[in-house]
Amino acid sequence: MRVPNDTTDRLTPMGVMVLALLSEGDMHPYEMVRLMRARRDERLLSITNGTLYHTVGRLQRSGLLEEVGTDREGNRPERTTYTLTDAGKDALLRWLRRELSSIDRPTEFRIALAEAHNLERRDVIENLRVRRDALAEAHVSHRDGLTGARHKNVPEQVLVEFERQEVLLEAELRWLDSLLDRLASESFPWGPDAFEYSDRYRAQRKAAQQ
């Protein structure tokens, strides 16, 4: 199937989560939903069965995943299992790189950060440094804007949102510097090959498959 050139641009946050789940192994949509809820992914995006099934269908039509089999147990509905295609993996990694370096899409950044372990350490460091430069520029702009406004005696009550944003930018810069320091150390495990499939993870996957 031909994959559109703008696949990455068209990925939704839910689509990214589905592709990231399939990077862990083949699974059916019911397992995906249960895993996302078990991992408390509702903190990142709204999870509904309808949205997820619709997303799976759209990703399949785009050639980012494909069916690998169906099964039926007892009176349960038939379940279709999907696998990640090479195009799907490429789209996932390109989306993660783009959103890790951007500062204007906070929801997408949170999801990219949650799934950043799918990227190699060098990739993460490189894209977070781009983000840091943009954050530093935004912080200086907000700080200088506040200073200028106060010199002009602009009432504080109309500056509270600007003040909040300046504080948040400063805090995120401190956090990001800390993360980059940890990533620079090989003692901090990172990347697809560093993920340990613990007993807890295996139990979680088994429960989601029921």
Q: Do 83 and 124 reside in the same domain of the chain?
A: no
pTM of the prediction?
0.86
Residue 111: inside a domain, yes or no?
no
User: What is the rounded CA–CA span in Å between residue 209 and residue 27?
Assistant: 8
Q: What is the DSSP string of 134-177?
A: HHHHHHHHHHHHHHHHHHTT--GGGTHHHHHHHHHHHHHHHHHH
pLDDT of residue 70: 83
Q: Are 107 and 45 in contact (CB under 8 A)?
A: yes
Residue 188: inside a domain, yes or no?
no
3-state secondary structure of 102: coil
pLDDT of residue 191: 81
Q: Do 14 and 90 reside in the same domain of the chain?
A: yes
User: What is the rounded CA–CA span in Å between residue 82 and residue 128?
Assistant: 31
Averaged pLDDT, groups of 10, the chain, 210 residues long: 57 95 93 92 92 95 94 72 97 97 94 95 97 97 95 95 95 97 94 64 61
pLDDT of residue 208: 61
Residue 102: inside a domain, yes or no?
no
CATH number of the domain to which 90 belongs: 1.10.10.10
Structure tokens at 44: 């990142």
pLDDT of residue 95: 97
Q: Are 142 and 166 in contact (CB under 8 A)?
A: yes
**Distance between start and end Cα atoms, the chain:** 32
DSSP-assigned letter for residue 119: S
**Given CA atoms 110, 115, 121, 127 in this order, what sign does their dihedral have?**
negative
pLDDT of residue 2: 40
How many domains is the chain partitioned into structurally? 2
User: What is the rounded CA–CA span in Å between residue 35 and residue 205?
Assistant: 7
Q: Do 177 and 201 reside in the same domain of the chain?
A: no
User: What is the rounded CA–CA span in Å between residue 141 and residue 148?
Assistant: 10
Q: Do 80 and 156 reside in the same domain of the chain?
A: no
Q: Do 25 and 78 reside in the same domain of the chain?
A: yes
pLDDT of residue 170: 96
Q: Do 138 and 87 reside in the same domain of the chain?
A: no
pLDDT of residue 192: 72
Residue 99: inside a domain, yes or no?
no
Q: What is the DSSP string of 35-94?
A: HHHHTTGGGTS---HHHHHHHHHHHHHTTSEEEEEEE--TTSPPEEEEEE-HHHHHHHHH
User: What is the rounded CA–CA span in Å between residue 75 and residue 98?
Assistant: 44
Residue 105: inside a domain, yes or no?
no
pLDDT of residue 3: 44
Write out the residue range of the structural domain in which residue 28 sits. Answer: 7-94+195-209
**Given CA atoms 41, 45, 47, 51 in this order, what sign does their dihedral have?**
negative
pLDDT of residue 4: 47
User: What is the rounded CA–CA span in Å between residue 146 and residue 110?
Assistant: 27
Residue 131: inside a domain, yes or no?
yes
